[in-house]
């Protein structure tokens, strides 16, 4: 469809068509995905849709017009602040998701640095973060013209604090660390970094978009969790996604600051617009009311006990998967994950971990892949409790199949990812992805396909770059 139809169609027919379009989508309800969707139950989904649709048309742009939405946002922020051990001075806003919760602190801390007027016109703001920090922070650095200073990881996949400390200079406007990191599920040494940030008087953000609604409840049910929240000296802000383990509707995240002295630098205010005085607390102008209302509803529906039960169930499944993978000769979980996200790789030099991912996808699983180092990734949700045994069985069968079919490593995504992961000239990859993105969002909306004729993620580079780089010798 490339033009608006001359005559409108019947509602029922449109909905029927839309339902049919979902046939090729990933099966998150059946636990076949390991990212993207955090599914609790069909009953909870139905409840969230009702809560969301109660505020389907409302706009949180003007809190004076829709005071109910401001109440929801205020109470969600306060509940999150309490969960993350903030005091009565902690303030914050809801955002459209984790990416916005990563973008805003970079802008706010850049403006905070500028407000101190210590720098001249040649000031080049820098932020420091471990290499494992979520890619949204790289996006924020690009958007707000802040230099990203990446810190290498230690053998346990946490950021190297000694190197971090050495990288601080007069241009450093903030430090960021993960609780936990998305790739490997480990918590950076937040207390140690916080101490450095406090000594140097540098803002320190803890990216807990993934763990903010999970780690506190693990601690409550008896798990030993490194302290990562406002209890750590030096922490000035934290982000946590309600639409992940908070089980709210997409997209809803929370961004908390230690006090208003930090948050005020996030506000945008323009007093001379002919349309009137304009003030906005976050990136969006129009702010959909549905996700805000659904976040409030989810937190009230779950309650602390509900979140505790969820954490217990998910960690039980996670342990089962980790132990099961480690028990398969030729596979190994990477590092020591501290919550329900982990990665694993091949210990057999003859078995390509990406080829295992391809065979698993042939069996109906949606598999995420990592690079540097290479591995397969899993994010465990309540939906996986029922399919954990099948996943482990399929994983073992996939490994055995590849032992007798070593040629499979040269096909499909295994070939593409394998080449991508080892190309030293990373700019080649960036240029090819740029071309793919242009096709995907161009006039013809051309979706990239892998060698098996299946839709492929933008990261899965096609044969064009393979031909280009295969001619080089590295």
Report in angstroms the alpha-carbon separations of 304 from 251, 358, 381.
22, 39, 17
Question: Which is it for strands 375-379 and 368-370: parallel, antiparallel or unpaired?
Answer: antiparallel
Q: Element (H or E) spanning 173, and its range?
A: strand 172-178
Report in angstroms the alpha-carbon separations of 134 from 50, 130, 182, 283.
32, 9, 7, 19
Residue 17 lies in a domain: no
Distance between CA atoms of 351 and 346, rounded to whole angstroms?
Answer: 7
Residue 440 lies in a domain: yes
pLDDT value for 32: 86
Q: How many domains does the chain have?
A: 2
Residue 118 lies in a domain: yes
Find, among 231, 241, 237, 242, the residue nearest to 127 by Cα. Answer: 237
pLDDT value for 459: 44
Of 251, 272, 299, which one is at a domain's C-terminal end?
Answer: 299
CATH number, position 86: 3.40.640.10
Quote the domain boundaries for residue 443. 413-470
CB 35 within 8 A of CB 376: no
Residue 252 lies in a domain: yes
Say if residue 295 is in the same domain as residue 421.
no
Q: How many residues does the chain have?
A: 474
Say if residue 290 is in the same domain as residue 418.
no
Distance between CA atoms of 299 and 324, rounded to whole angstroms?
Answer: 33
Q: Is 276 helix (H, G, I), strand (E, B) or coil?
A: coil
Contacts of 8 (CB under 8 A, 6+ apart): none
Distance between CA atoms of 283 and 103, rounded to whole angstroms?
Answer: 9
Distance between CA atoms of 12 and 356, rounded to whole angstroms?
Answer: 42
Q: What is the pTM of this model?
A: 0.86
Find, among 86, 68, 67, the residue nearest to 77 by Cα. Answer: 86
Of 273, 299, 325, which one is at a domain's C-terminal end?
Answer: 299
In 116-241, alpha helices (H): 135-143, 161-167, 190-200, 215-220
Residue 123 burial class via C-beta count within 10 angstroms: exposed 0-12, middle 13-18, buried 19 and up:
middle
Residue 294 lies in a domain: yes
How many other β-carbons are positioned within 10 Å of the β-carbon of residue 148? 17
In this structure, what token pair is assigned to residue 212? 């903010």
Of 265, 299, 333, which one is at a domain's C-terminal end?
Answer: 299
Residue 417 lies in a domain: yes
Residue 398 lies in a domain: no
Distance between CA atoms of 228 and 238, rounded to whole angstroms?
Answer: 9
Rg (the chain; Cα; Å): 23
Residue 35 lies in a domain: no
pLDDT value for 161: 97
**What are the average pLDDT values for consecutive 10-residue runs of the chain, which has 474 residues?**
86 91 84 86 94 92 87 95 96 95 97 80 89 96 96 96 96 97 96 97 97 97 96 98 95 96 91 85 91 96 97 97 96 96 94 92 92 92 95 96 78 49 58 66 62 50 38 39
In 41-200, alpha helices (H): 42-54, 67-83, 98-115, 135-143, 161-167, 190-200
Q: HSE of 12 in the Cβ direction (CA atoms, 13 Å)?
A: 0
In this structure, what token pair is assigned to residue 146? 């802040």
SS (H, E, C) 280-348: ECCCCCCCEHHHHHHHHHHHHHHHHHHHHHHHHHHHHHHHHHHHHHHCCCCEEECCCCCCCEEEEEECC
pLDDT value for 204: 98
């Amino acid at each position: 469809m490339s033009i608006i139809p001359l005559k409108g169609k019947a509602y029922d027919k449109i909905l029927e068509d839309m339902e049919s379009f979902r046939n090729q989508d990933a099966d998150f309800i059946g636990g076949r995905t390991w990212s993207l969707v955090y599914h609790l139950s069909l009953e909870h989904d139905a409840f969230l849709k009702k809560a969301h649709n109660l505020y389907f048309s409302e706009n949180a742009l003007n809190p004076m017009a829709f005071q109910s939405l401001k109440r929801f946002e205020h109470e969600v922020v306060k509940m999150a602040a309490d969960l993350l051990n903030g005091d009565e001075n902690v303030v914050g806003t809801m955002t459209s998701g984790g990416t916005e919760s990563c973008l805003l602190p970079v802008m706010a801390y850049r403006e905070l640095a500028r407000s101190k007027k210590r720098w001249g016109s040649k000031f080049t703001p820098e932020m420091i973060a471990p290499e494992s920090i979520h890619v949204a922070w790289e996006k924020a650095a690009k958007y707000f013209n802040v230099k990203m200073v990446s810190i290498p990881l230690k053998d346990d996949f946490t950021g190297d604090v000694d190197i971090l400390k050495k990288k601080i200079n007069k241009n450093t406007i903030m430090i960021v660390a993960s609780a936990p990191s998305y790739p490997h599920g480990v918590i950076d040494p937040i207390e140690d970094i916080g101490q450095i940030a406090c000594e140097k008087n540098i803002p320190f953000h803890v990216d807990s978009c993934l763990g903010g609604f999970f780690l506190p409840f693990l601690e409550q049910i008896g798990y030993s969790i490194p302290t990562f929240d406002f209890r750590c000296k030096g922490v000035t802000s934290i982000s946590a996604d309600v639409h992940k383990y908070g089980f709210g509707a997409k997209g809803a995240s929370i961004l908390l600051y230690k006090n208003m002295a930090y948050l005020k630098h996030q506000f945008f205010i323009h007093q001379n617009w002919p349309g009137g005085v304009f003030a906005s607390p976050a990136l969006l102008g129009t702010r959909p009311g549905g996700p805000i209302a659904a976040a409030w509803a989810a937190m009230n529906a779950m309650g602390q006990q509900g979140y505790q039960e969820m954490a217990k169930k998910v960690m039980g499944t996670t342990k089962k998967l980790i132990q099961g993978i480690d028990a398969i000769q030729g596979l190994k979980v990477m590092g020591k994950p501290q919550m329900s996200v982990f990665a694993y790789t091949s210990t057999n030099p003859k078995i390509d971990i990406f080829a295992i991912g391809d065979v698993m996808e042939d069996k109906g699983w949606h598999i995420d892949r990592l690079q540097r180092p290479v591995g397969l990734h899993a994010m465990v949700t309540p939906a996986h409790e029922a399919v954990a045994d099948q996943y482990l069985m399929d994983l073992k069968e996939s490994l055995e199949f590849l032992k007798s079919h070593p040629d499979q490593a040269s096909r499909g995504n295994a070939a593409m990812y394998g080449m991508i992961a080892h190309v030293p000239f990373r700019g080649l990859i960036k240029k090819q992805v740029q071309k793919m993105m242009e096709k995907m969002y161009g006039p013809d909306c051309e979706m990239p396909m892998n060698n098996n004729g299946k839709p492929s993620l933008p990261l899965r580079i096609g044969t064009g770059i393979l031909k280009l780089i295969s001619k080089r010798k590295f």
